Structure 1
Amino acid sequence: MSRHYIGILIATLYIQFSFAQAPTPRSSSEIRLNMERLNVLGSVLYFAAHPDDENTKLISYLASERQVRTSYLSLTRGDGGQNLIGTEQGIELGLIRTQELLQARKIDGGEQYFSSAYDFGFSKTYDETFQFWKKDEVLREAVWLIRKLQPDIIITRFPPDERGGHGHHQASAILAHEAFLAAADPAMFPEQLSDVSVWKAKRLLWNTASFMRMQGENKDQLKIDIGEFNPLLGKSHGEISALSRSQHKSQGFGSASSNGKFFETFEYVAGERAKKDLFDNVDLTWNRVEGGAAVKKEIDILLQGFDDKQPQRSIPQLATIWQSLQGLPDGYWKTRKITEVENLLLACAGIKLEAVTAMPRATRGSSIPFKAEIIARNPNVSAQIVSINGETLNKQLPANAYVTLDRATPNLESTQPYWLERPHSLGKFDVRPEDVGYPMNVDLPAAVIKLRISDVPITCIQPIQYRFVDPVRGEVNDYLEVVPKLSGSAEQPVLLIPKGEERTLDMTFQRHDAALQGSSIEIKGIPAGWEVFPQQFDIRFTEASNTLTQTIRVKNSSAAGEGTLDFFADGKLLEGIREIAYDHIPRQAWFPTVAVKIKPITIEKTVARVGYLMGAGDLVPEALRNLGIQVDILHAEKINAASLAQYDAIIGGVRLLNVNASIEKALPALYAYANNGGVVLMQYNVNSRLQVENFAAKPFTLSRARVTEEDAKVTFTDASDPALNYPNKITKQDFEGWVQERGLYFAENIDAAYRTPLRMADKNEPQHEGSLLICKVGNGKFVYTGLSFFRQLPAGVAGATRLFVNLLAKEN
């Protein structure tokens, strides 16, 4: 089945995918709510930059109280943020946050969309943001989505200037304004007009907020109470909002519910001003469609006759409405309302569809068996299975009895997330035009099931899922993964090797197709001055094992430069399989090509064994182990003077003081250890929700100050400071090649007992000395640093690694 065909179906149907834009209502109250929505013809687009930027309370209010189509466009997938639940960063964090947004939309009733912009990390200006994002391309995508969704109102979360804070926030507001105008201009992106029409939204508003500097101007602001309790949902929008926002677990955004009056404020940006209501002078009725008055009368009859105990009695009237809709002129609202009626027919009939397989994975090009399970749970329903995947059946569905049909998939294609199929730049994914906007792949393995309910044909696309029962979670349905026949993984993604030294690298190969006997492996991309043994070898699998390991020796014979070892299997780039599994989102997999970075380093180490107190999650322990340092993971509630004495240094992971409830009780033991000659190093923490405010050896305060330019100039306040000289001489060269940023949440109001050997700042900003603090504690020392070592060390940044090792050294 072609990607284009599936895309058309997704655009026109309320399908059963777990990421479906409006899940089929199940309860009678939800059915009633969706029946009422048939009489509302309105659409809103909420526009911002990241997962978590959206106003979930407003989305819930618009979707369920005002009953308008409500969409959220997050320009990025949140790839550049921090992760409070695991060690994933970058692309993998974006995969997590994509699913968290989809879970949030299931709760608040909104729809989720994305552009191809990549979250490259915190930016202080929209100018810098646009340089990375390729502004015109992201604008084109925003215009496409506006023309496709045809919102009556567009609402931004942020203002277009410094009040928005993050440069991405400012950029989103600028893009929203420009896209608002461009979508109505046929001269802008005319190539889109073969598939969509120009669209002029009624108005563009800024949803002001009380946090940061986003209150706006009180004069002439529109104020609306959205604190209603919705009896059909059994919750207020404050309660729904809390459940929705709490899905952003990787950001630690668990939220408390609220009830009672709550006012949202809006500031005019463009279009026609609203004086009393968001939808002033917007016709939300069937009067906006030629012939719509007759359809409204039929919907009123439907609502008057709805029986919440027997929703199937509404099927004949829904079928009548469906037939009437066919006679309307073609257009956006005809298509939209046909979809809503078909969704209600499925709900009133109590239709449940599943397509399940006994295996979690299949290989590309293979075909696997699956079961299509279909049931009409309400009595006296005339429903037929017309076909499955094109095979005609014309089978009547009995009342409340499963019909199970054994089928096989066509040859399967990769389930690689579509935005990761091609290499991406630092600021933008390279996606096909037909994929723009979708939260997930539109061509996941699926069963196309055609039904007929009361003579209304309905096409449903049901993803094929692996179903199993977890003893704790109960029944779990995960997406079927379509993986390469052969995958590989490197023990270490980065090797830092001093000149003249050699390291071993264990490569693991796994076959996922039992028919695969072996493969020829070749390593390419070896730069001058490096030696790799072997460069070519064959792997052969046995019947007893689907995995094997090959040890590779990598030697820095005379290298001054770095490179990347690329692995090829039978002439093609070898792929890995990276799985992401958390209980609150579906399991995901992606398939990066297998590559190992090799970099030269000159380094001396005075530490052999360190203890590590994990915080929110980072990969620093693995990076230190790659240097030959033993790293033991410690637990704050179990440490004492005796257990700490065996270590050369104790390291606190990122956000340790934000997430570890036991750390306050451990602090006395840590400082006693330092007093007796040990080294305690704390990495960055944010300045809110600290488990203990006065955690440091000497006082300072945490700020939101940061240096986001990874190449920002760094100066030494005291070049003779031991941290810059022992055991490694740190020079300006050690601050070259850093990734994403210098550091974040720097210290301020610093006690005079601290040495602050570094000074840095972004362009046009005052210099800051709070990135690195060091003070003597008895016979030892305490270090606090906001430098982003959690990004630099896993990336193999040699200079950052050398500096970090210095900070662990006991000073003479």
Structure 2
Amino acid sequence: MLAKEAFYAAADPNKFKEQLQFVKPWQTKRLFWNKWRPTEEEARGLISINVGEYNPLLAKSYSEIAAESRSMHKSQGFGATGRRGTIPEYFEFYLGDKPESDLFENIDLSWNRVDGSSQIQKNINEILKAFNPQVPSKSVPQLVSLFNALNSIKDNYWVELKKKELLKIIQSCAGLWIEAIADDYSASPGNVVNINTTLVNRSDINFTLEEISVENNLSDSTLNLNIENNNPISISSKIAIPNDYPISQPYWLSEINNGSLFEVNDQKLIGLPENHASISVTAKIKNGNSELEFNIPLLYRWNDRVKGELYRSFEIRPAVVASIDKKVSIFSGNKEKEIKVKLKSNTENVSGIYRLNGNSKWKVTPAEVNFSFTNKYEEKNIIFKINPPNMVDEVYLSSEILINNKKSNNDLVEIS
């Protein structure tokens, strides 16, 4: 069982050494097996949890939430009907420190795990006790003080994680709206992008906008603007996308697959459900003497006549992409076939040469095609004639796009 091997391997400093520059070996406390439908006799020696418990704040039981989660597997037809009432789940102990009655027995989940955090939990308890859901902004001064206290604790995984969560709580309690909107949903390396950053403070908390900056030093504006209650502030800026800026694509598709496995060179990306934003904007905001940095993904916003306000991620795209119409073709004898290739521009005023490359046995006509686009998102179809050899053979046809003496072979597939 792989879980048993992982139980020991995660604590072994000689395993997976390439990961240890980012993480440390970790010995888990115990390992259980979620036993499915045990007999009455088997269940007597197992720890049980009621997963049908009702949460009055959510107005749902956890089993109902689980059914909704399962029903999100749309492509797999995993729709599930929610169950209500007591639903026991049973856990069989396998490895580690055996508990008497609770899965988390003798496992410290408090701030006691973090050195130098003795006051943190007390501060949190005070904030919770004084919290007024009708006026959540009253908690902001205490939340900012808590953030400063966390800042004094260095190099701790949990502290860095909780600081990010705390910034979101401060933003929510203050009704602080921050957005960075591009003038289009994509751009290509070498393009100029217009960005409009808007902030709205929907509370009486005193905030000052000190700086707006775009990652990788693409833009930086030093400011000193009071963010008054419900009075929007908008900052316009232009950024030039460097010619070597990385193209937006799922990180697991950046490298050629290693057989049936995806190749990911950056260990810190593995496990992320989606890519980080192609470009992000940082707003430095002061509250008194405290400085808060809010990192905002650059988005594109538009209005749909039916759905209303919609957003999508901002993307960096190749200047021109090529899509071969038929991914697989079967030739009968040496009869000629036509293959259609669609070229699409992702920038204005771009020209170059397109080639459909095969091998010397297969004749591709024409050998190359000059293309020119005036408008962004313009499309053109090119027809190639393919003549197979008079023998059993196969060939892989590949795209080659040549723009300003730079080669690429990008296709673009939009799935949503």
- Correspondence list, 1:365-444, <5 A: 365-378=190-203, 380-389=204-213, 390-411=220-241, 413-432=246-265, 433-444=267-278
1:540 is paired with a residue of what secondary structure? strand
Structure 2 CA distance for partners of 1:536 and 1:480, relative to 1, 3 Å: same
1:304 is paired with a residue of what secondary structure? helix
Is it true that 1:550 corresponds to 2:390 in the alignment?
no
Is it true that 1:305 corresponds to 2:140 in the alignment?
no
Contact 2:202–2:229 (8 Å) recurs in 1: yes
Contact 2:183–2:193 (8 Å) recurs in 1: no
Q: Matched residues in 1 for 2:93 and 2:11: separation?
A: 18
- Correspondence list, 1:782-801, <5 A: none
Q: Matched residues in 1 for 2:391 and 2:352: separation?
A: 31
Q: Matched residues in 1 for 2:175 and 2:377: separation?
A: 46
Q: Which residue of 1 aligns with 2:27?
A: 200
2:107 is paired with a residue of what secondary structure? coil
Q: Matched residues in 1 for 2:376 and 2:271: separation?
A: 45
| Offset at residue 533 of structure 1 (A) | 1.3
| Offset at residue 340 of structure 1 (A) | 3.1
Structure 2 CA distance for partners of 1:216 and 1:421, relative to 1, 3 Å: farther
Q: Matched residues in 2 for 1:440 and 1:398: separation?
A: 35
Q: Which amino acid aligns with 1:513?
A: T
Q: Which amino acid aligns with 2:4?
A: H
Is it true that 1:266 corresponds to 2:91 in the alignment?
yes
Work out which of the residue numbers 314, 326, 329 in structure 2 matches 1:495.
329
1:564 is paired with a residue of what secondary structure? coil
Q: Which residue of 1 aligns with 2:174?
A: 349
Q: Which amino acid aligns with 1:205?
A: F
| Offset at residue 243 of structure 1 (A) | 2.6
1:269 is paired with a residue of what secondary structure? strand
Could you say which structure has the higher helix fraction? 1
Between the two proteins, the alignment pairs up a number of residues equal to: 403
Contact 2:277–2:313 (8 Å) recurs in 1: no
Is it true that 1:521 corresponds to 2:354 in the alignment?
yes
Structure 2 CA distance for partners of 1:452 and 1:236, relative to 1, 3 Å: farther
Q: Matched residues in 2 for 1:208 and 1:262: separation?
A: 13
1:494 is paired with a residue of what secondary structure? coil
Q: Matched residues in 1 for 2:51 and 2:287: separation?
A: 38
2:134 is paired with a residue of what secondary structure? coil
| Offset at residue 274 of structure 1 (A) | 2.8
Q: Which residue of 2 aligns with 1:706?
A: none
Q: Which residue of 2 aligns with 1:254?
A: 79
TM-score, scaled to structure 2: 0.88
Structure 2 CA distance for partners of 1:450 and 1:178, relative to 1, 3 Å: farther
TM-score, scaled to structure 1: 0.47
2:57 is paired with a residue of what secondary structure? coil
Q: Matched residues in 2 for 1:572 and 1:272: separation?
A: 59
Contact 2:50–2:89 (8 Å) recurs in 1: yes
Contact 2:52–2:84 (8 Å) recurs in 1: yes
Q: Which amino acid aligns with 2:229?
A: A
Q: Which residue of 2 aligns with 1:536?
A: 368
Q: Matched residues in 2 for 1:547 and 1:331: separation?
A: 51
Query: Structure 1, residues 475-523: CA drift from partner, whole Å, max 9, x if none?
Result: 211112221111112221111111121111122222222121x212223
Is it true that 1:275 corresponds to 2:100 in the alignment?
yes
Work out which of the residue numbers 442, 447, 453 in structure 1 matches 2:281.
447
Structure 2 CA distance for partners of 1:326 and 1:361, relative to 1, 3 Å: closer
Query: Structure 1, residues 234-291: CA drift from partner, whole Å, max 9, x if none?
Result: 3222232233222221122233233322222222232222331110110122333344
Query: Structure 1, residues 20-63: CA drift from partner, whole Å, max 9, x if none?
Result: xxxxxxxxxxxxxxxxxxxxxxxxxxxxxxxxxxxxxxxxxxxx
Q: Matched residues in 1 for 2:41 and 2:316: separation?
A: 49
Query: Structure 1, residues 736-774: CA drift from partner, whole Å, max 9, x if none?
Result: xxxxxxxxxxxxxxxxxxxxxxxxxxxxxxxxxxxxxxx
Q: Which residue of 1 aligns with 2:217?
A: none
Q: Matched residues in 1 for 2:124 and 2:386: separation?
A: 72
Q: Which residue of 2 aligns with 1:462?
A: 296
Q: Matched residues in 1 for 2:376 and 2:142: separation?
A: 62
Q: Which residue of 1 aligns with 2:114?
A: 289
Is it true that 1:222 corresponds to 2:47 in the alignment?
yes
Q: Matched residues in 1 for 2:374 and 2:121: separation?
A: 68
Structure 2 CA distance for partners of 1:208 and 1:471, relative to 1, 3 Å: farther
Q: Matched residues in 1 for 2:400 and 2:179: separation?
A: 39
Query: Structure 1, residues 365-424: CA drift from partner, whole Å, max 9, x if none?
Result: 32311211211222x212222211142223221112221211234515311111111110
Contact 1:527–1:562 (8 Å) recurs in 2: no
Q: Matched residues in 2 for 1:358 and 1:244: separation?
A: 35
| Offset at residue 438 of structure 1 (A) | 1.7
Q: Matched residues in 2 for 1:444 and 1:214: separation?
A: 53
Q: Matched residues in 2 for 1:568 and 1:233: separation?
A: 54
Q: Matched residues in 1 for 2:41 and 2:205: separation?
A: 55
- Correspondence list, 1:305-344, <5 A: 305-328=130-153, 330-344=155-169
- Correspondence list, 1:81-100, <5 A: none
Q: Which amino acid aligns with 1:307?
A: N
Q: Which runs of 5+ in 2 are unaligned?
A: 214-219
Structure 2 CA distance for partners of 1:391 and 1:177, relative to 1, 3 Å: farther
Q: Which amino acid aligns with 1:416?
A: Q
Q: Which amino acid aligns with 1:464?
A: L
Structure 2 CA distance for partners of 1:559 and 1:388, relative to 1, 3 Å: farther
| Offset at residue 558 of structure 1 (A) | 1.0
1:549 is paired with a residue of what secondary structure? strand
Contact 2:278–2:316 (8 Å) recurs in 1: no
Q: Which segment drifts farther, 506-515 or 213-222?
A: 213-222
Work out which of the residue numbers 1, 5, 11 in structure 2 matches 1:184.
11
Contact 1:328–1:334 (8 Å) recurs in 2: yes
- Correspondence list, 1:711-790, <5 A: none
Work out which of the residue numbers 385, 409, 413 in structure 2 matches 1:574.
409
Percent identical residues: 30
Structure 2 CA distance for partners of 1:490 and 1:336, relative to 1, 3 Å: closer
1:400 is paired with a residue of what secondary structure? coil
Q: Matched residues in 1 for 2:355 and 2:310: separation?
A: 40
Q: Which amino acid aligns with 2:332?
A: P
Q: Which amino acid aligns with 2:314?
A: L
Q: Which residue of 2 aligns with 1:609?
A: none
Work out which of the residue numbers 318, 332, 337 in structure 2 matches 1:484.
318
Query: Structure 1, residues 197-218: CA drift from partner, whole Å, max 9, x if none?
Result: 22111112222335xx999964
Contact 2:52–2:62 (8 Å) recurs in 1: yes
Indicate the RMSD between aligned Cα atoms, in angstroms. Answer: 2.6
1:496 is paired with a residue of what secondary structure? coil
Q: Which residue of 1 aligns with 2:307?
A: 473
Q: Which residue of 2 aligns with 1:24?
A: none
Q: Matched residues in 2 for 1:409 and 1:384: separation?
A: 24
1:438 is paired with a residue of what secondary structure? coil
Q: Matched residues in 1 for 2:148 and 2:268: separation?
A: 31
Structure 2 CA distance for partners of 1:386 and 1:208, relative to 1, 3 Å: farther
1:568 is paired with a residue of what secondary structure? strand
